Structure formats: structure tokens, C-alpha cells
Structure 1
């Protein structure tokens, strides 16, 4: 008979609050245009270096430190530490003024490290609380990360969505005359406080606890998460490398769009004859509303879909649709409807990665081990975060120097084709098989 335990949905609420703050990294596009102007005068590639270093630091700290630490110390202390470190990174950027290296250190390296420490904690904790709803719950656990970008972008610009002005005449923090550095200071304080509050309910269920009325699947079910692999056992399987490579392709596509949507959208719309002020509002809406909103929805919807179709087929469908949209986006972004549609669907598919890959890792390599195994899979996100944004930034700089902005094509078409390759990999993938457990060690079939 199970004793009284806390309501598991409280852990969901805490996890979403944490992720809303961590998702601020996806609000980076709110700053890129200002960073390319006075007094910063960064080039486009420099703006993407800060973003890419943040993504890489996020993935590396999650893989090398957070996964093992939370398994030993519990998710609460690790998530709380992540919030403090993330906040510190933004405070460092505030004191760095216009220094590229100071901002790279603060928001890139330190801020990314804080995200990496906190990010896995809600996922690992909630998979243990909800073994009966892995797809849905991993989607909910990370939905805040996608929705967070909407909040942090719109706080800088005002909650203006085309003709709809939810914040009235308030033009956001920038409209009030706040500098980029002042916004970073405010955000740093908020991140440390809010992540700390969400961390208070990051507590694992009691040993042996399971949801009422739920029967664990037999260990012979190779795609149920009943068979637990250690990190060493996992990384020698072709399934690990298949998941890793597919995640690299999906991450590179989505993160490139996040990093350059302001710059690409402005270039595309102004080339179509739309004035710069109108284009600026449209690109802010594309990222701050359509991409961010559908990114969050994609995490929930793709996760739920995968509970019915299976994780493998859901990843295949998601990658095919993403490949089509990445290529199409280059051609339709010169129209506002095309910019909004592309941002929405690319954000929707990109968000799905963060529900499907942790759930697939749990399915293939064990529910109990997801906290230590998924950070290794998530390193793919860091690799994609370097490839995608830097490719976009370099193609933009190349176009600016040559006067031919068609160079954007060579950012979008290759990343779209890579998504198709990821779909093919997943079509060919089958769950790793285990024959039996002898002497406490899982034996290969």
C-alpha cells in the first residue's frame, strides 16, 4: 500500500515555471538587430556566436554535469543552482557594456551553463512521476521553454501582434528607453528568482511509487522503457547514434531560424517593398508570437501524437514536414503571411524535438536512466546550435558583402535536406533488443 505523496501535477507546474525562464535563450533575436547597430556594431556572425556558444554550453553542462549530479543529489538543488548561474550570466553581460567577449562570456558561456544545469531536472523528475504518459508529460515539461521566448521577446517590444495591441501604447522595455544591458540585468534577477521558486517542487517520487491503476510493461517490451541501459551500454548502440544525428539535423534547422529570423525577415520583407518599420513589427511578431507560440504547442502536440503513433513514426513525420518548410521558407518569407506561416510551422516542428527525443531515449534506453542518458543525446542540440546559427550568420554576411542576398538560400536548403536525411534514419531504426538480465547486468540479444 502506497503512502500519501504530493500531487504529481504540482511538479508539472514547477517544471513549466523553470522552463519559461530557461527559454529566454530563444528570445535572442530580440537583441540581434540592436547589437548590429551603435554602440555595439557587431556583425551578424558575432551575434550568432553568442547564441551558438550559449547553446553549446547548455548542451555540454547538461551532458557532463547536470545529468549525473541530479541523479545523485536530486533535481531540486541542481535546478536551483542552474537558475542562479543563468541569472549571473545575464548580470555579467550587463556589466560588460559593449564588449563582445564579455557578452559572449556572460550570456553565452555562463548563461548557457545555467540553462544546462536546470533543463534536465524537470524532464528526469516528471518521467518518474508520469511513466504512464511519457509523451504528453515530456511535452508539457518543456513547453514552457518554447512559450518563454514569447514572454521575453514581447517584454522588450510590447505585446503587439500586428493590429492587436494587448499592451496598449506600451512599447515594451526598449520603448521605455531601456538599454540592452539594462534589460539583461532585469532578466538576470528574474531568472534566478523564478527558477528558484519552480525548483522547490522538483522532488522525485518515493522509491517504488507508481501511478494508481497503472501496470508497468514487461521488461521484454523493448520499446517500453522497461529495459535500463547505462551510459556506456547506450553509446555503443547504433540507435543512440541514429537519434543523435537526427537530433543534430532538427536542432540545426530550428536554431538557425531562431538566430536569424529578425535579420532574414527584415531582408526578405524590405526586398519585397515593405518599409523598414512595418518589416520590423512583422519580424517581431513572427518570432515573438508565431514561432514561440507554436514552438510551445509543438512540444505538447507532438508528444501526445507520439503516445499513439509511437516515437519513431512521430519523429519521421516531424522531420519530413520540417524539411519541406525549411526549403519553402526561403521562397515565401518575402510576404508577411509567408513569414508568419513559416515561423509557425518551423517552430511547431522544432518544438517537437524536445518532447520526442527525451521520450524516445526513455523508450529505448530505460525510464529510470533517462536523467543520465538523455543529456548525452542532448549534446546533439549543442552541435546543431553551432552549425545552424553560424551557417545563417555567415550566409547573411556573405550576402551583405556581395550585395546579393540570395545567399540566404544556402542556409535554408541544406538544413531542409538534412531534415529529410533524419527522417530516413528514423525509418530504418528499430529499438535495441535485450535478451535477459543475469548477474545484475543486461545481456544483448
Structure 2
């Protein structure tokens, strides 16, 4: 007799090649990840409108916070109706936000358009590829989440030269509109490829590992309400906040940090692309490492490297600062790869969209706290780098390492 699992596997594999889902996910994520090129626009906006650094940087923080908060609701919606239409709506909203941002005359308008509308679009688009890929690849969670989010990291590297070219050719504000059209088209196209596998799908040749007594196995699923009652949820949330805050502090300020530590204007401009490249590479590499070494051990290693690097950034000058900020970007990419896999390992995939969206909110809060800490505690001397915010963030990363030590799979009553 043919088992139900074999029938489901046969039908799903005849319907679509699961690697095609990854291709669609990457197309979406590359465009959404272009949000990381914010530092390319920061200084020109300050110059054109006469804005101060802190309120200008707050645009990026609003975008990331709204983006993270939206993943909760978008995750729940895509759990119910599937990823295609949610991701399509995300692409359209993302494009709309940037097109409206091109009409900016006040910073409040930029907050609403680029920050809120654009952030909602990014959040709706981001969670769908991730949740879909995890369901298609239960046998390679670390690798596949790394790949799925690597595109997000690559977005900064790919679109930095595009944005610079557009600024020169069509002007600063018009470049927002052009980028919005490009992003919208690509995200909507990628969204049409996304679809969930049939219920009960498992890849050919793979069987879910049997769970240890009292532990969660591959078939056990937590609702979001059940998840937030577990001790592990709070450890994951807080430690993710520490890691995300460190990475986003550097990503949002890579250019001025590189200049303050002695890099020429040309090399400092390359810091944005270099950090983006290492960010993307970290997502893939740390995802693969976590499949082999385990999620918690991998997190401990990432927190250790990130913490020590943040503590030493002030001491690095010249090309060494480029290595330092790139290393932080590499670790940041690791956080974005390992935490999604850890969420699926601990809480299953049935309610994954909303579960990971709830955890991902810590990333959004970190996006506000990290860059804000940097701006509040910046050096009073123009062009100098303050060690204080870097030291605080480095210490918190080491606290994150200690928290990761306490993690173990939750039990379900």
C-alpha cells in the first residue's frame, strides 16, 4: 500500500521544483534588502534639507521598526492565505512608499512614506519567502534560511552603485522614485513563484528525526500564544535584540565610522558595499554551520566574535576599520540566518509566519535602539568616533552569548 506521505511527496515534486521557490525568494529579498543602503542617502538629505544627523537617521529606524512589526501580521496572514498575495501587496506598498518619498519636502513626510509605508511593504514581503522556504526544506533549515535571507544582505551591495548612479543622473529625490519602480516590479515578479508545499510534505529520502522524550520534534507545532509562554521565547527575543542592535548600529553608520577612522572618502564609500557583502555571506555560512554545529553553539560563537569586534572598533584605523565593520556585518548576517531556523526547530512550521514575526520584532526594536544609541552618544568633536556606544553594544553581545548558553528545546504539554 502506498503511504499518504509518499503520495504528498510525489504530487508536490511533480508540481514544482522546490529550488525554484528559492529563486523567487532571492529576487524578492535582494530588492527588500536595498533598505540597507540608507547611509548612501543620509548625508545628501542632511545637506539638501539642512536636517541634523539624529532625526535623519531616525527615518531608517522607523523603517526597520515598522518592517519588523509588520512581519507579525503579515506572517499570520500568509499562514492563512498563502505567501503569494501577501508578498505581492508588500512589493506594491514598498514601491508606493519610495515613489511618495521622492516628493519629500519635510522630514515628517519622509517618516510616513519611506518609513511607515515602505516599512509595511518590506515587512509584508520579507516574511513570505522565509516562511515558504522553511516549509519546503525541513531537511536543510539552516542552509535554506541562510540563502533566503542572503539576498536581503546582498541588496545593499547590488543597489549601492545603482543608487549612486541615479543620484548623479536624475537627482537625489527622483532616485527614490526610480528605485521604487525597480523594487516593485522585481518583488511582484518573485512573489508569483511562491507557494506552500502540500500539508505533510517531506523531501525524497528524508525522514523527520524522532524527538527525544519530552522534547519538540519536527512534527510538533506551537501556536504563538503557546510560544510566548515558554522561557526560551524571552531568551531568544532579548538575545536577538542585542545582536540586531549591534549590527544595525554599524550598518546605519558604516560610512561615517569608516571616515572617522581614517579611510579616504572613496574607500569609506565602499564600506557600505563591503558590509553588505559580508552581511550576505554571513547569512549563508552561519546557516550552514548551524546545520552542522547546532543552533545554540553557532549563536554563542557569533556573539563572541561580534562582541569582541565591537569592543575593539575604536582601536582600528585605516583599512583595519573596513575589516572590523565587515566582521560585524558578517556576524549580523549570522543572526538573521540562525534565529529563523531556531524558531522552526523549537516551535514548528505550522504557525511559523506569525511565530517568527513575533520574534523578529526584537530586530525592529534593535533597529531603533542601535542607531539611536550611536547618535546620542556620538563624539562632540565632528569627525571623531565615540567608543561609548560601541563598548555598550559589545558588552550586550557578550550578555547575548551568556543567554544563548541557557537555551534548550522547549517542552510542550
TM range (shorter): over 0.9
The residue aligned with 1:282 is 267
Q: Report deviation, 1:407.
A: 6.2
The residue aligned with 1:12 is 22
Runs of 4+ in 1 over 4 A off after TM superposition: 404-407
The alpha-carbon distance between structure 1 residues 95 and 404, as it changes in their structure 2 partners (threshold 3 A), is closer
TM-score by length of 2: 0.94
Note if 1:52 corresponds to 2:30: no
Does the CA contact (< 8 Å) of 1:67 and 1:371 recur in 2? yes
* 1:18-417 matches, cutoff 5 A: 18-37=28-47, 39-63=48-72, 65-96=73-104, 98-157=105-164, 172-176=165-169, 178-220=170-212, 222=215, 224-269=217-262, 279-288=264-273, 290-332=274-316, 334-335=317-318, 337-396=319-378, 399=379, 402-403=380-381, 408-417=386-395
In structure 2, C-alpha distance between the alignment counterparts of 1:432 and 1:207, rounded to whole Å: 24
Q: Report deviation, 1:266.
A: 2.0
Unaligned runs of 5+ in 1: 158-171, 435-442
In structure 2, C-alpha distance between the alignment counterparts of 1:31 and 1:132, rounded to whole Å: 41
- RMSD (CA atoms): 1.5
Q: Secondary structure at the match of 1:95?
A: coil
Unaligned runs of 5+ in 2: 1-6
Q: Report deviation, 1:368.
A: 2.6
- CA offset digits 1:135-186 (Å, max 9, x no partner): 00000011000000011112133xxxxxxxxxxxxxx22333x322111000
Aligned pairs, number: 402
In structure 2, C-alpha distance between the alignment counterparts of 1:123 and 1:155, rounded to whole Å: 26
In structure 2, C-alpha distance between the alignment counterparts of 1:404 and 1:93, rounded to whole Å: 29
Q: Report deviation, 1:268.
A: 2.4
Q: Secondary structure at the match of 2:43?
A: helix
TM-score by length of 1: 0.88
